[in-house]
Homo-oligomer: A and B are copies of this chain.
Amino acid sequence: MAHARVRKGARTASPSSGARRHKYVYAFANGKAEGSSALRHLLGGKGCELAEMTNLGVTVPPGFTITTEAWAAYSAGGRKHPAGLWEQVLAALARLEAAVGLKLGDPARPLLVSVRSGARASMPGMMDTVLNLGLNDRTVLGLARWTKNERFAWDCYRRFITIFGDVVLGIDRHAFDELLDRAKAQAGARSDADLQREPLKALVAEFKRLVQARTGKAFPQDPVEQLRLAVSAVFDSWFAKKAVDYRRIHRLPDDWGTAVTVMAMVFGNLGETSGTGVCFTRDPSSGERRFFGEFLVNAQGEDVVAGIRTPQPIAALKESMPKVYDELVAIKDRLERHYRDMQDIEFTVQEGRLFILQTRSGKRTAGAAVRIAVEMLKEGLFDDRRIKESSERREKSIHTALLRVEPSSLNQLLVKTVDPKAKYTAIAQGLAATPAAAVGKVVFDPEKAVEMALREEQVILVRAETSPEDVAGMHAAQGVLTSRGGLTSHAAVVARGWGKSCVVGAGDVVVDEESRLFRAGRTVVREGQVVTLNGATGEVVMGALPLVDPTLSPEFEKVLEWAGKVSTTKVRANADTPEDAAKAREFKAVGIGLVRTEHMFFKADRIAIVREMIMSRDEQARRKAVDSLLPFQREDFIGIFTAMHGFPVTIRLLDPPLHEFLPKYKEVLEEYTRLDALGINPARHQELGAIRARIEALQEANPMLGHRGCRLGITFPEIYEMQVRAIMEAACEVAKRGVRVEPPEIMIPLTGTVEEMKLTREMTERVARQTVSDMGVKVGHSVGTMIEVPRAALIADELAQHAEFFSFGTNDLTQMTFGYSRDDIGKFLPFYLEHKLLPSDPFAVLDQEGVGEMIRIGIERGRKTVPKLKVGICGEHGGEPSSVEFCHDVGMDYVSCSPYMVPIAWLASAHAQIKQPRRAEGHTSGRASRSRPRA
């Protein structure tokens, strides 16, 4: 828009000649280009780098780029070429012809050009390109003579008519393909390449008839007219539905527009001194600093893609064309140094002459990204000579290195994965819940899973869906497969917390628990059969695929070290056991942001006591049961504090409703009704009757909104009292043993009113004081609250006066802000994602517009009364890069996520700090409320 305005202003200044004076075309040829990398907004990615390379002295086929300003004038003017544009194009064309010594439309040695789109940002496959432009009934004969390859010339012409017909003339591509298929059938050709000269000539004639029939006009024979039409068509492709959709999804502005690059075609298939190839300046898979690539002699790019011939490794070029090879090596080194990044370079050799067609930053694996970043820093590639002060220069280099690694990609490095070399066919496809892969025997019963695991068998637990009851079995299993549930279903969330392999919502999988088998399409998998879960892809495979172990390479450690230093938003882990805590430390967490005490309740030796507590008829019996849980909880906390030796630990008191700890109602009711109908086993019948009655009494229509969190702790105070005592006894005990222990951070879940906070805090203070006095050790503590219900965020100014810290529980906050049940969203989420009603699953990626606004309000109000308030997040979002960035931007002190996500969170936090710096320890609330992004 800025440019469009400039242009308009120029016009106003001199109406008759203004447009003419405006520069719409930037040429590049013979080592001189009018553009450069700096003009990416004007020339697009492709155009600007071709100009940049030209200026570097790298040989690229000459050409010129029509600017995005020309596009803007074109689209503002009702899709007409603005005045002056075509004159500039023709002038540039003339220079291009002079540079290559060929002429567009010359019957003897015709110039062919490609017409390519190129926007500021890469929009792969979204917009159109026309190749081989310049062919007509006469030039095709010249090309055939000149290349000494008639078949090639007619094949080019056939392709040109197809692509031009499709892109420029708007004829459905399928019409051409049908004719092609018919020709192949008649000629008995298996592939396009088998089609010889004569049938191709006949096909060209048919194609031209098709064009005549569809457009009412002959196929345009004038190459300049072809060019004019092609330029307009490439301009128009910016408005194609797929391009518009792409921009909406990726939030790219509609007014950027596209540039158009017109470039001389070069041919790698003009004999043994020609060829084409792709190379990388480093190994994109390992990151190793070695020249890597492939090359095909006497071939064009499309031959490589078609896979008809096997390319040779780049080293072969050294043998066959040593001069070209040396030139290429010099160029790739130069380009990498110039761009300070690993380059992906396309080149063509035409009759011994090397042309670079494109260079761009190369895609790479996460491992390669980490290694390349660290090694390039060491090599000094990131040093900015303009910065005098060496520590500052060093800091900037580290920032550059960190930005070179995509946080979400680190996932791949933190789990066992299927060997990339393995070949397989999946029997079912579900949602990829965690990147880990797992191999094991199928088992349907969680208890059996535990039993088999004790016998050191590796098992995969398969369930329709999982519930907290299944946790022991899930833990025992190598992986979990469910037929129902979304990416935040119970199975997915729990498995993610453990970094365990998990595929959920595999709709094709029908579990028949009774017959101990599952079906996936026509495949029947019985208990005990071995399957592999590929959590990274959501695939389920029969048999055992080879897996590879994760490695925390020295380079990875280095990246984490840098990220930790750069970040102002620190990273903690969610951990429920001493083992989790150890894992958290291993992955560099600087504390635990969430211990879910209820997970301790599910262990085999405790669940019976918990049920006894729930079945108690009176307070005395209940207190007795609760008290016998205390030693277990204390032991857990001792283990966790010991593992964290001095890093802070936030412990959430009991959260879920009590009925979660009882057996499943459906099963109880079925067994009870069965015994009742048959009149057998009166003892069991009676026992079940009591359980059934208790479950019915506790049942809730919407347990998520029910009697849980502090509501439970307030109405059954003995539970929270026991938990606080266990926490403080453990902290004192650990301190007595001489281990450093930070004052435990005791966290109250589901607070919604100030009164709740006051009451639970008073209780906590009282019990903590008493315990510390009983234990005779001086250990402090603090009391904070989760912010999970919207009301808590709204009254945060008052809550902050009674809570020493806030931790946003974004799982529940998302549930209540949207009114979405995490367990039920699977009923409409797929439809919503498919139809773009939601940009992503809000339980995976924090909804910044709604839930984020709730968080902004909570932080802003909380810090209004308590400016130094400590604020963190402990929902599942704490390990998702865009959510971490948000947490940084709104001024959180830390994020907490599952141990396996900690490195990702560190890197995301470092990125956020680099992009939007914040003072360390500075408690700013970041962006003000209401500055949320617009869709």
Contacts and interface: CB of A to CB of B under 8 A. Distances in A.
Contacts of A812: 819
A702 B824 contact: yes
Given A674-B673, A759-B837, A824-B702, A754 B935 contact: yes
Nearest to A712: B828
Interface string A377-388: 000000000000
Contacts of A702: 702-705, 815, 821, 823-824
Contacts of A750: 819
A819 B788 contact: yes
Given A673-B673, A677-B674, A818-B789, A849 B795 contact: yes
A755 B838 contact: yes
Interface string A648-668: 000000000000000000100
B836 A752 contact: no
Interface string A785-799: 000111100110010
Nearest to A676: B674
Given A754-B935, A756-B837, A821 B700 contact: yes
A851 interface: yes
A702 B819 CA distance: 10
A856 to B, nearest CB: 10
Nearest to A815: B705
A795 B674 CA distance: 52
A616 to B, nearest CB: 16
A496 interface: no
Interface string A851-875: 1011000000000000000000000
B789 A819 contact: yes
For chain A, what secondary structure do more than half of its interface residues adopt (helix, strand, loop), or is it mixed? Answer: helix
Contacts of A674: 673-674, 676-677
B817 A790 contact: yes
A77 B789 CA distance: 44
Contact of A817 (B701, B794, B838, B851): B794
Given A753-B838, A850-B791, A707 B817 contact: no
A794 B850 contact: yes
Interface in A902-935: 934-935
Interface string A390-418: 00000000000000000000000000000
Contacts of A850: 752-753, 790-791, 794-795
A678 B714 CA distance: 46
A666 B818 CA distance: 30
Interface string A681-724: 00000000000000000001111111100010011000000000
A711 B825 CA distance: 10
A816 interface: yes
A292 interface: no
A446 to B, nearest CB: 19
A172 to B, nearest CB: 28
Contacts of A828: 707, 711, 714-715
A837 B714 contact: yes
A319 interface: no
A824 B701 contact: yes
A669 interface: yes
Contact of A827 (B707, B823, B831, B853): B707
A824 B657 CA distance: 11
A670 interface: yes
Given A674-B673, A824-B705, A853-B794, A755 B819 contact: no
A820 interface: yes
Contacts of A789: 817-819
A795 B828 CA distance: 21
A752 B790 CA distance: 14
A836 B850 CA distance: 32
A452 to B, nearest CB: 28
B795 A700 contact: no
Contact of A677 (B677, B700, B837): B677
A701 B759 CA distance: 30
A702 B826 CA distance: 12
A669, A678, A750, A824 interface centre (most CB from chain B within 10 Å): A824
A706 B821 CA distance: 6
A680 to B, nearest CB: 10
B673 A824 contact: no
Nearest to A797: B930
Interface in A724-767: 750, 752-756, 759
A264 to B, nearest CB: 46
A819 B812 CA distance: 9
Contact of A823 (B701, B714, B836): B701
A702 B816 CA distance: 11
Given A677-B674, A836-B755, A818 B791 contact: yes
A935 B754 CA distance: 9
B795 A827 contact: no
A827 B658 CA distance: 12
B669 A854 contact: no
Contact of A705 (B711, B754, B819): B819
A930 B217 CA distance: 69
A835 B756 CA distance: 10
A559 B752 CA distance: 40
A364 to B, nearest CB: 35
A323 to B, nearest CB: 59
A815 B756 CA distance: 17
Given A701-B821, A752-B819, A816-B819, A827 B791 contact: no
Given A752-B819, A791-B850, A837-B753, A703 B701 contact: yes
A209 to B, nearest CB: 41
Contacts of A755: 836-838, 935
Contacts of A669: 666, 669-670, 673
Nearest to A678: B677
Nearest to A852: B794
Contact of A673 (B677, B794, B795, B831): B677
A789 B704 CA distance: 15
B754 A824 contact: no
B705 A705 contact: yes
A906 B714 CA distance: 39
A701, A791, A853 interface centre (most CB from chain B within 10 Å): A791
A933 B759 CA distance: 21
Contacts of A837: 714, 753, 755-756, 759
Interface of A: 666, 669-670, 673-674, 676-678, 700-707, 711, 714-715, 750, 752-756, 759, 788-791, 794-795, 798, 812, 815-821, 823-824, 827-828, 831-832, 835-838, 847, 849-851, 853-854, 934-935
14 contacts: A669-B669, A669-B670, A677-B678, A678-B678, A701-B703, A702-B705, A702-B824, A705-B819, A711-B828, A714-B828, A714-B835, A753-B850, A794-B853, A816-B816
Q: Nearest 7 pairs between A and B by C-beta?
A: A705-B821, A702-B821, A791-B850, A789-B819, A701-B823, A707-B827, A706-B824
Given A704-B819, A816-B816, 14 more contacts: A674-B674, A706-B827, A711-B827, A711-B832, A750-B819, A752-B820, A759-B837, A789-B819, A790-B854, A791-B819, A794-B817, A794-B849, A794-B854, A816-B817
